[in-house]
Amino acid sequence: MSARALVDATSLVHLCRKKGIELLACDFDSTLISIHTGGMWGDGAKKLSEFFRPCFKQLLSAALSGDMNVAVVTYSSQPWLIKEVLKITLNKCDTSKVIIRGNTPEFMEKTRFSAMGKEDHIAYVINELYTKMKKVVHPQEVLLLDDDRENVELAIKFGHRAFEVKDNITLEDLQRFLNSLPDKPKES
């Protein structure tokens, strides 16, 4: 990772804070990684980590170093694999701080898998942040990064910020999006 890229990613984390974003909620398949596993990846975490998008490696490294809340919200039923991919890819960061909410059987049973995009996943993460760390995160303080347009649109309806990830995503794309958002209101 070049020094320039790290500066750009760090400035994006500062920009997220300026815009009032407290939680980066990232999809996994076709978002953090450039392929879709179908939740049935069998070639191990090391091989899967080769598909991690460089811009997200930079962004998540800067976010974790900057003490920003990070979560992976995914329909994948392999959260343990995602955890290993994060450890390999973000090996200089404390990835234990990343909350991973996938479609495990117990989660599916509990939520009955509603048709609300990633909202059940995000609600779970927000609850975990409050329960374990007493951090309160409001809907408008969540930024969902997802390749699925429907998930993005639903997140916006629930009051979140959301960005549709395209195959050629760059840090500059994220910066343009963040710059388009209003700043966090000043507290009185």
* 185, part of any domain: no
Cβ atoms of 102 and 118 within 8 Å: the answer is no
Q: What is the CATH number of the domain that holds 90?
A: 3.40.50.1000
Sheet of strand 69-73, all strands in order from the earlier edge strand to the far edge: 99-101, 69-73, 23-26, 142-146, 161-164
User: Which of 151, 150, 91 shows the shortest CA–CA distance to 142?
Assistant: 151
Residue 110 has pLDDT above 80, yes or no: no
In angstroms, what CA-CA distances link 182 with 16, 19, 178, 185, 186? Answer: 11, 6, 8, 8, 11
53 located within any domain: yes
DSSP tag of 49: H
Q: How confident is the model at residue 109 (pLDDT cuts 50, 70, 90)?
A: confident
pLDDT band at 99 (very low <50, low <70, confident <90, very high): very high
Name the least confident of 51-60, 115-124, 153-162: 115-124
Q: What is the pLDDT of residues 145-159, one digit of tens each?
A: 999 999 999 999 999
Structural domain boundaries, residue 50: 3-180
Q: Is residue 186 part of a domain?
A: no
**187 in a domain, yes or no?**
no
Spatial distance between the Cα atoms of 18 and 46, rounded to a whole number of angstroms: 35
Q: Is the pLDDT of residue 125 over 50?
A: yes
- Return the percentage of the chain with pLDDT > 90, whole number: 85
The reported pLDDT for the residue numbered 1 is: 46
Q: How confident is the model at residue 6 (pLDDT cuts 50, 70, 90)?
A: very low
Q: What share of the chain is helix, strand, coil (3-state, %, to 5)?
A: 50, 10, 35
Q: What's the confidence (pLDDT) of residue 114?
A: 62
The mean per-residue pLDDT over the stretch 56-67 comes to 96
What pLDDT is attached to residue 92?
A: 94
Q: Which two three-digit tokens encode residue 158? A: 């629930």
Within 8 A by CB and 6+ apart from 100, the residues are: 71, 72, 74, 79, 82, 83, 86
Please tell me the pTM assigned to this model: 0.92
Interatomic CA distance for residues 156 and 167, integer angstroms: 21
Domain count within the chain: 1
Half-sphere exposure of residue 154, counting CA atoms within 13 Å on the CB side?
Answer: 15
pLDDT at 78 over 70: yes
